[in-house]
Amino acid sequence: MPYLVSGTNEYGSSNLGRGKATFALRLARKLLREGYMDVRVCAPRGRLLQSDELDELEPTESDMAKGQQRGNRETKKPKKEKSKVIAAAPSRKEAAWQPDFGPAKKK
């Protein structure tokens, strides 16, 4: 879990992991509404955000929905189109001329 959300209330402390920034932010705000104190979010690179700094935790491009993400194929050069060959169809190639060496000798 890249994001660790922790908070303390009168019964003890809670440490919960979330995979995406949006879910971690949502959980941290929920803990604040429920009366937790010292709510913190630890980001993947070790950055520790206090409850008043939660607005700095913005979702990155990897947190976007799959339909909104751009794939690598969109940035690459498109491949050259190839014509499909149907095995049942006769060949369209013209028969190439081949030299005649005369009658073959059998031993």
Tell the residue number behind the tokens 């194929």, with chain if given.
73
Q: Report pTM.
A: 0.50
For residue 73, the model assigns a pLDDT of 58
Give the pLDDT of residue 77. Answer: 67
- Look at residue 38 and tell me if it is in a domain: yes
Q: Is there a contact between 17 and 26 (Cβ–Cβ < 8 Å)?
A: no
For residue 84, is it within any domain? no
66 part of a folded domain: no
Nearest one of 85, 59, 84 to 3, comparing CA atoms:
59
Residue 71 lies inside a defined structural domain of this protein:
no
Angstrom distance (rounded) from CA 49 to CA 53: 6
In order along its 107 residues, the chain shows pLDDT tens digits of 688 899 999 889 889 888 888 888 889 989 999 999 889 998 888 888 887 887 777 655 455 555 566 666 556 666 778 777 777 766 666 666 667 776 766 65
On whether residue 65 sits in a domain, the answer given is: no
Domain count for the chain: 1
Question: Which bin fits 33, alpha (ψ -120 to 50), beta or left (φ > 0)?
Answer: alpha
pLDDT at residue 79, as a whole number: 73
Give the position of tokens 């009366």.
35
Task: Establish if 33 belongs to a structural domain.
Answer: yes
Q: What range does the domain containing 17 cover?
A: 3-49
